[in-house]
């Protein structure tokens, strides 16, 4: 019995050791798999962190651009140039062109049919707008009112400058575009500064956002395409007229050739008549009927 009990205890201990070993092996394998997954997730997190750092650097660069008046103007100018260059063919516009009075607008759009050029200005006073936004965030009513008055005054001065510099009789259109490089700024101007919008309309200046400028450029492109189609239609009409003249000359020459062929046919008939007579006389000579016909 002691031997049997020892054998049973040994078997149970062996089974327990086997199961314990298998469990440790499975736990080790699972631990390695979890560590591998954790390492992959850490790699993804490192990549996302590097992307966030790169994006933060770009935001800082954009903030530096927008903090500088000259570079901010270049930012609005570049956005306006991209919209126009994508929508109009080369030669239908000109950037930084010089007018007859010496002023240089940001863009001149060449209108069809010899019409005056359209002026587009991209120098929007973003400094006053940023100051007004900072005042709104501060919550100080006096600061907000002062910033709004400053922004309103700067926009009015800019509208007056456009109307005085870029409206030339016979050289430019009596309407100009004031480009705003942001849809949100455009919406807030029309919502909270209706007086500025009316003032611009009275001065024949249209405030346009990127989407409105794109729509206007598409309309101008359609007009230019229609003009080109009309020019091509006139060219085709002229070619058709010349083609009809050539057809008329060809008809006249064919009729003359037909007359020549008719005359040649009559001549051939007369020749055939003569040959027929000659053939008959030869037959008579051959039949010795010439002597009977002589008396």
Tell me the pLDDT tens digit for each residue of 203-219: 899 988 888 888 888 88
User: How would residue 63 be classed by pLDDT, with cut points 50, 70 and 90?
Assistant: low
The sign of the torsion formed by the CA atoms of 252, 257, 261, 266 equals positive
% residues pLDDT > 90 (the chain) = 0
Q: How far is CA 11 from CA 5, 17, 143, in A?
A: 10, 10, 89
**Residues contacting 65, CB < 8 A, separation 6+:** 71, 72, 75
Q: Record the tokens describing residue 115, joined without a space.
A: 């019409």
% residues pLDDT > 70 (the chain) = 89
Judged against a pLDDT cut of 70, whether residue 288 lies above it is answered with no
CA distance 15 to 28: 20
Residue with structure tokens 């008396």? 295
Query: What are the pLDDT digits (tens) for 157-190?
Result: 888 888 888 888 888 888 899 988 888 888 888 8
- Widest CA span in the chain: 179
More confident position, 236 or 191: 191
SS (H, E, C) 228-241: HHHHHHHHHHHHHH
pLDDT at 111: 82
CA distance 166 to 173: 9
Q: How far is CA 107 from CA 69, 75, 98, 264, 276, in A?
A: 19, 14, 10, 74, 92
pLDDT at 258: 83
Taking a C-beta distance cutoff of 8 angstroms, is the pair 144, 136 a contact? yes
User: How would residue 59 be classed by pLDDT, with cut points 50, 70 and 90?
Assistant: low
Query: What is the helix (H) or strand (E) element at residue 107, kind and residue range?
Result: strand 107-109
Q: Is 221 helix (H, G, I), strand (E, B) or coil?
A: helix
More confident position, 140 or 64: 140
pLDDT at 140: 82
Judged against a pLDDT cut of 80, whether residue 293 lies above it is answered with no
User: How would residue 71 be classed by pLDDT, with cut points 50, 70 and 90?
Assistant: very low
Judged against a pLDDT cut of 70, whether residue 74 lies above it is answered with no
Mean of per-residue pLDDT scores for the chain: 81
Query: What are the pLDDT digits (tens) for 82-122?
Result: 888 888 888 888 888 888 888 888 888 888 777 888 898 88
Residues 218-241, mean pLDDT to the nearest whole number: 76
């Amino acid at each position: 019995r002691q031997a049997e009990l020892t054998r049973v205890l040994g078997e149970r201990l062996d089974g327990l050791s086997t199961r314990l070993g298998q469990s440790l092996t499975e736990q080790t394998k699972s631990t390695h798999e979890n560590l591998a997954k954790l390492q992959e997730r850490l790699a993804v997190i490192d990549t996302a962190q590097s992307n966030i750092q790169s994006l933060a650097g770009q935001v800082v660069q954009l903030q530096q651009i927008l903090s500088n008046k000259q570079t901010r103007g270049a930012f609005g100018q570049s956005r306006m140039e991209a919209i126009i260059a994508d929508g109009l063919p080369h030669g239908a516009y000109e950037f930084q062109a010089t007018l007859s009075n010496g002023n240089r607008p940001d863009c001149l759009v060449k209108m069809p049919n010899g019409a005056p050029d359209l002026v587009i200005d991209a120098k929007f006073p973003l400094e006053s707008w940023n100051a007004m936004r900072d005042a709104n965030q501060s919550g100080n009513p006096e600061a907000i009112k002062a910033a709004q008055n400053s922004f309103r005054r700067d926009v009015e001065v800019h509208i007056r400058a456009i109307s005085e510099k870029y409206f030339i009789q016979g050289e430019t259109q009596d309407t100009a575009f004031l480009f705003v490089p942001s849809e949100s700024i455009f919406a807030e101007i029309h919502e909270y500064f209706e007086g500025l919008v009316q003032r611009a309309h009275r001065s024949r200046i249209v405030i346009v956002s990127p989407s409105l400028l794109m729509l206007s450029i598409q309309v101008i492109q359609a007009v230019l395409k229609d003009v080109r189609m009309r020019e091509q239609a006139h060219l085709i009409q002229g070619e058709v007229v010349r083609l009809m003249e050539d057809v008329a000359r060809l008809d006249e020459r064919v009729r003359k050739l037909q007359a020549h062929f008719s005359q040649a046919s009559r001549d051939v008939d007369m020749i055939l008549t003569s040959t027929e007579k000659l053939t008959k006389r030869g037959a008579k000579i051959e039949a010795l009927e010439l002597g009977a016909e002589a008396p």
